Structure 1
C-alpha cells in the first residue's frame, strides 16, 4: 500500500525498520484495550455473578452491588496510576525496552491472580497488579514510538497505539461473546487467560528490538546511539546520514543542558515553557477520559442491558467494530490535517452526539428511541476513534524536551489513569438506581457532552500544532510562538544542528546553508 503523507520522506537509507520497530510497540495497546473490553463483559456474565456476587435480587438471581462493580473495574486504574507515575522516577534507569518487558511481567502476575481467584478480594488484587504493569507500558509506549519513528509518519505511528487499543477491545468483545453462555468458570477464565499471550508477544519482541537512540544520547552512550540509529535507518553506523541524525539529537540535548541540570521538578518550571506544556498535555489526557468513552467500554454491556436493549453483548460488539474501523482514518488524517484541527472537529462531533443521546435517553423508552440511542452512541464513538483516541497520545509523545520527556510523559499518562480511575469508580453510583445511587442512566451523557465542550475551548486556545516537526523542532516552536492559535505557520530554523556540524567539521561554512537534514 502506498503511503501518501504531507511531509517529505527521507532520501537516504530505509524508513521501514524504524516504522516496523515503532509500530510493534503498538502491541502494548492490545493489552490495555483487551483488559478494558474483557471486564465489561465479564461482570455481566451470569456465572461470574454466581461465583463472585454476595447478594441476590428480588427473584433470587445473584447480582453485584454498585460497590463491588466499582471496585472490580476501577482498581485496575489505581494500579495503572501508580505504575505510570513510577515511570517518572525510574523510567531513565533501565531504558524504554527493559521497562516495557518489566511491565509485561507484572501484568502477567496480575492476570494469573485473576484467573486463580474465586472471591472478589484476590480478583481485585490481581486487577491491581495487572494495572501496575499496564501503567508501566502505557507510559513508555508513546515515548518509545515518538523517539523511534521518523518525523514524517510519527503521528500516524503513535496513533497506531490507540488503534491497537481498539483492536484489543474488539478481540475481548468477541472472546466474551464466545464464552458468556458457558455454565462453569471457564466462561470468564478463558477471556482472562488469553491476556497471557499479549504480554508474551510484546515482551518477546522488545527483547530483540533496538533501544531508543535518544535515550542513549541522554545517558552519554553515543556509540550505542549511533548503532541504534543505524538499525532504525538500515544504514551502517558510520554512514554520513546516521552521523547527521546523531549530531542533531546531540546538539539539541546539549542546548537543553545549557540551562542547567535536570530533575523531576524541572517539569514544573517555566524554562522552555515546560510547565505550560505539561499542564496542556495533562488536560488533553484528562479530557480524553472525560469524553466518557470508557463509560461505554467499561460498562457498555451493562448499560445497554439496563436501557432495555435486547442482545447487549451484540450491541457492545458492534460499538467495538465501529471503534476499530474508524481509528485508521484518524491515523491517516493526523499527518494531513494536523493535530489541532482533528481534536477540534472530534470534540465538536462528540459533544453534539452525546447531547442527542442524553435527550433521547430521557424520552419515552421505545424500539425507535433505542435505535436512535445506539446510532448516536456509534456516531460518538466514530468521532472519538478518529480524533481524540489516537491524537491525544500523539500530542503526549511529541510535546516535551528530551531532558524532561520521560518524566513528563509519565505524569501525563498518570493524569489519564487518575481520571480513568475516578470515572470507573464513580460511574456505577452515577448511573445505577437504588439507595445511594444518582440514577442518572442515559442522563450521564449530559456530563460527557459538557466536558467535550470544554475540550473544544482547551484545544483552540492552548494546544500547539506539531505536524511535520521533528522532536527537536518542537522545542523551538514553544520558544518562538507565544500562542497556540498561530502555531500552524511555524517554520523551524535548524540552527542548532548547523552550528554543531560546523563545530564537528562535518561540513564547511560555505556549504552550511545548503545542507538540509532529514530528522528522525
Structure 2
C-alpha cells in the first residue's frame, strides 16, 4: 500500500488526535451557559426570569471532569497498547473509541448518559494524547522534532476554535439540536484520523524493537532519505537505532517499575511534572469555564447565555495564532527558556486578575447568575482589564507551556521505556485535569478571587522547578539525551548527570552536522561523476 513520506503531512494527520481534546474543551465551554443545555439537564429549577438553572455546580464539575477522568485511564493503558500493537495502530484504536463516545454524548437523554459518553471520549483522548507525541518524536529528525510535536498543541487550539464556532452557530437552533449537532459533528475528525493513518508509516523505532529491520530501513528511507536507501543519514540513524535496541534488550526488561529505579526516577519526575504543571497553570480550566469569568466581568445578558460566547471565542482565536511562534522558533529558543518565560508571564497575569477582583469586585446578588461559581461582579474599567488580562494569559500559555508540555517528555526517555513513560506522564496530566475541572466551580463559589492566587502560586513554583531541574533537550538525538541524566565518566556520580542550568540548546551544531553531511554526499557524487566522465 502507498505510504506518505512527507514528515509535515505525517504530523498533520497524526495530530488530529490532539484536536479531539480541543473539540471536547469548547464543546463544553461554549454550551454550559446556554439555555438548551441547562434545560435538558436541569436540576435546580428556574430563576425569577424563567430561565433554567441547569445542573448543580458539583454535578457540572462532574460532567466536565468525566472526560479527563476517562483520559487518565486511557493514557495509563496506552503504553501497553502502543508497545504491543504499534504507535500508529494504537492511535487508530483511539479514533474508533472517540466515535463511539461521540454517539453516546450526542444521544444523551440524561446526566448519567452524558457522563458515560464523555468518559468514553476521554478514554480515546488519553490514548491519542499520549501516543501521538511518541509517534512523531520517533519518526521526526532532531532539528524538526520540537516543531512537529508542537503541532499537537496547535491542533488542540484549532480543535477548540473550530468546535467553538460550530457551537456558536448551533446556539441559535431551537431545542436540543443546539448541542446535539456539535456533539455529533465531532465524530467526523476521528473518522478522518483513522483513514489518514492508513497511509502513514509506522514508527521506525517501534519496528526496530520488534526486529522488523527491513521495514525500519524502508521507513527511514521514505521519511529521511528522500527515497535513497544508500543515504548516509539513513545508514547512520539505522545504526544508532540498532545499537540502542540491542543494548536495551541485553540489559533490561521493560516495566513501569523501571521508571522508579534510581537511574530513571529523575527524568520520570521531570516528565510527570511537565504535564502536571501544564494543568496547574490553570489554562485548561480557564478554557472550560471562561464563560463564567466573562459573565462575572459583565458580558452576560438576558438572552440565555449567548452574549458571552463571542468574547470567549476571541480567547480561542488568540490561542490558535499565538501557538504559531512556538512552531516556528521553539527549536531555536530551546525548551528551558520557553518554559521559564511562560511561567513568569502567566504568574503575572493571574496575579493581576486576582488583585482586580479582590479590590474592585462585589459579591454577585443571589440568583443573578445561573451558577454559584459566578460569585463575583466587576464592572467598568476593571472589568475590561480582567478581560484583557485573561487574553494575555492565553497569549502567554499558547507559545510556551502549551506546545512544550507535549514536546518535552518524549525527549527524556530511552526507546524501551518511551511508550510507557509517556503514558505515565500523560496520565498525570489527565488526573490533574480531572481534579481541576471538578475543583474550579466550587473554588470560584467559595474562595472567589483567591482561586487566581492559587494558580499564580503554582506558576511561581513551576518557574523555580524548571530553573533548577529541567535540562535542555532541544535538537539532541533521542539516543544521546541519556548522557545528560546518566554520567558515566570516571569519578562521576553514576546517576547524576549534567546540572540542568548548564545544559544548552545544540541547534546550531545539529544544523551544521546536517549541512556537512549533505555537503559530503554532494562531493562524493560529484567525484563519482567526474571519474565516470573521464572513463
The reply to whether TM is greater than 0.5 is yes
- Match of residue 524 from structure 2: none
Helix, strand or coil at the partner of 2:299: coil
- Match of residue 57 from structure 2: 66
Q: Check 1:315–1:279 CA distance in 2 against 1; reply closer, same or farther (3 A cut).
A: same
Does the 8 A contact of 1:22 with 1:144 survive in 2?
Answer: no
- Match of residue 386 from structure 2: 373
Gaps of 5+ in 2: 301-306, 361-377, 488-496, 511-535
Query: C-alpha distance in 2, partners of 1:374/1:416?
Result: 27
Does the 8 A contact of 2:18 with 2:125 survive in 1?
Answer: no
Query: C-alpha distance in 2, partners of 1:276/1:204?
Result: 39
Alignment of 1:79-478 (within 5 A): 79-233=70-224, 234-237=226-229, 239-271=231-263, 274-310=264-300, 311-364=307-360, 365-432=378-445, 438=446, 440-478=447-485
Once the 2 structures are TM-superposed, how far is the Cα of residue 230 of structure 1 from its aligned partner?
A: 1.7
Query: C-alpha distance in 1, partners of 2:31/2:240?
Result: 50
Helix, strand or coil at the partner of 2:298: coil
CA distances 1:40-82 after superposition (whole Å, capped 9, x unpaired): 1111110111111122244243222112211110011110000
Query: C-alpha distance in 2, partners of 1:361/1:260?
Result: 54
Query: C-alpha distance in 2, partners of 1:220/1:378?
Result: 50
Does the 8 A contact of 1:22 with 1:148 survive in 2?
Answer: no
Once the 2 structures are TM-superposed, how far is the Cα of residue 253 of structure 1 from its aligned partner?
A: 2.4
Once the 2 structures are TM-superposed, how far is the Cα of residue 493 of structure 1 from its aligned partner?
A: 12
Helix, strand or coil at the partner of 1:43: coil
CA distances 1:297-326 after superposition (whole Å, capped 9, x unpaired): 111113322342243211110100110110
Does the 8 A contact of 2:471 with 2:503 survive in 1?
Answer: yes
Helix, strand or coil at the partner of 1:104: helix
CA distances 1:270-317 after superposition (whole Å, capped 9, x unpaired): 23xx21111111111101100000122111113322342243211110
Does the 8 A contact of 1:309 with 1:370 survive in 2?
Answer: no
Query: C-alpha distance in 2, partners of 1:491/1:292?
Result: 31
Helix, strand or coil at the partner of 1:124: helix
Q: Check 1:489–1:429 CA distance in 2 against 1; reply closer, same or farther (3 A cut).
A: closer
Normalised by the length of structure 1, the TM-score is 0.87
Query: C-alpha distance in 1, partners of 2:232/2:380?
Result: 67
Does the 8 A contact of 1:235 with 1:242 survive in 2?
Answer: no
Query: C-alpha distance in 1, partners of 2:111/2:293?
Result: 22
Query: C-alpha distance in 2, partners of 1:491/1:345?
Result: 19
Query: C-alpha distance in 1, partners of 2:237/2:498?
Result: 28
Does the 8 A contact of 1:23 with 1:145 survive in 2?
Answer: no
Query: C-alpha distance in 2, partners of 1:128/1:263?
Result: 27
Once the 2 structures are TM-superposed, how far is the Cα of residue 228 of structure 1 from its aligned partner?
A: 1.4
- 1:78 matches 2:74: no
Helix, strand or coil at the partner of 1:468: coil
Query: C-alpha distance in 2, partners of 1:117/1:19?
Result: 38
- Match of residue 25 from structure 2: 36
Once the 2 structures are TM-superposed, how far is the Cα of residue 113 of structure 1 from its aligned partner?
A: 0.3
CA distances 1:207-248 after superposition (whole Å, capped 9, x unpaired): 221000000111111111111112212324455542322111
Gaps of 5+ in 1: 1-14, 433-437, 495-520
Query: C-alpha distance in 2, partners of 1:230/1:67?
Result: 54
Does the 8 A contact of 2:259 with 2:268 survive in 1?
Answer: yes
Query: C-alpha distance in 2, partners of 1:492/1:198?
Result: 38
Alignment of 1:485-504 (within 5 A): 485-488=501-504
Does the 8 A contact of 2:5 with 2:200 survive in 1?
Answer: no
Helix, strand or coil at the partner of 2:481: helix
Query: C-alpha distance in 2, partners of 1:226/1:294?
Result: 40
Query: C-alpha distance in 2, partners of 1:226/1:284?
Result: 33
Helix, strand or coil at the partner of 1:482: coil
Does the 8 A contact of 1:19 with 1:149 survive in 2?
Answer: no
Q: Check 1:223–1:395 CA distance in 2 against 1; reply closer, same or farther (3 A cut).
A: same
Query: C-alpha distance in 2, partners of 1:268/1:250?
Result: 26
CA distances 1:491-518 after superposition (whole Å, capped 9, x unpaired): 9999xxxxxxxxxxxxxxxxxxxxxxxx
Normalised by the length of structure 2, the TM-score is 0.85
